[in-house]
Amino acid sequence: MNDAYSIAEAKNNLSGLVHEAEQGHPVRLTRRGKPVAVLISTQQYERLSKPRKKIEWRAAVIDTKNFKFDRDEANER
């Protein structure tokens, strides 16, 4: 099948386009030749709309609270 359809074409073949989306193929909808929407499967929608995990910046910082620094060693050159 085609990957872009006018809204009029989509109305006439909605069940076929829904089936195509269910198979994992996004269906682009156009109005006057310009893209206006995309029909995707529920599975794809859920994956795209799921909140992303934030990476806690503090998790990347080394805990130095109990670390013993030796100033002389640290400044050796």
pLDDT digits (tens, 9 = 90+) for 2-39: 789 999 999 999 999 999 999 999 999 999 999 999 99
Percent of the chain with pLDDT over 70: 81
* Entry pTM: 0.62
pLDDT value at position 76?
63
CA distances from 23 to 2, 3, 26, 72, 77 (A): 14, 13, 9, 65, 63
pLDDT value at position 53?
75
Please enumerate in sequence order all residues whose Cβ is within 8 A of that of 16, keeping only pairs 6 or more positions apart, or say none. 1
With a cut of 60, say whether residue 77 has pLDDT above it: no
Region 1-48: CATH code: 3.40.1620.10
Query: What is d(CA 62, CA 22) in angstroms, rounded to the nearest whole number?
Result: 46
Query: What is d(CA 28, CA 21) in angstroms, rounded to the nearest whole number?
Result: 10
Residue type, 52: R
